[in-house]
């Protein structure tokens, strides 16, 4: 099963030390190009999440997570357009999606 990873999910999973790679083992993990761009922008800024963004990009590289190109530049719109399961913490994005994986109680993953 293909699971698209959102920026908010990656940042939260790293922040709360959730081994999402092990939890989602056996599934095809993918990030869209706009998500990669968001992570790269976070690294350059001094905002919250820049360390987690750096770790996320390193995990993507080390684990050879597929980066899928898309014509849609806005990350949330691109995720909705894919019509796949999306791992996210974004409340507004969750409302737009049918299949979601999210982090609960800063400890574990749950499908909604």
Domain that holds residue 64: 2-111
Query: How many domains does the structure of the chain reveal?
Result: 1
Report the CATH number at residue 72.
3.40.50.1010
What the block records as the tokens of 55 is 């770790």
Average pLDDT for residues 7-17, to the nearest whole number? 96
φ, ψ at 4 (rounded to 5°): -90, 130
Whole-number mean pLDDT of the chain?
93
Phi then psi for 36, rounded to 5 degrees?
Answer: -60, -40
Grouping H, G, I as helix, E, B as strand and the rest as coil, residue 112 is coil
| Burial letters 76-86, b for 16+ CB under 10 A, else e | bebbbebebbb
Segment 43-94, tens digit of pLDDT? 987 777 789 999 999 999 999 999 999 999 999 999 999 999 999 999 999 9
């Amino acid at each position: 099963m293909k699971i698209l990873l959102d920026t908010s999910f990656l940042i939260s999973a790293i922040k709360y030390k959730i081994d999402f790679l092990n939890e989602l083992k056996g599934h095809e993990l993918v990030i869209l190009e706009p998500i990669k761009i968001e992570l790269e922008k976070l690294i350059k800024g001094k905002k919250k999440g820049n360390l987690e963004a750096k770790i996320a990009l390193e995990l993507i590289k080390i684990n050879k997570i597929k980066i899928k190109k898309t014509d849609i530049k806005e990350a949330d719109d691109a995720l909705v357009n894919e019509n796949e399961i999306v791992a996210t913490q974004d409340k507004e994005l969750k409302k737009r999606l049918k299949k979601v994986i999210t982090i609960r109680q800063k400890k574990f993953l749950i499908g909604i």
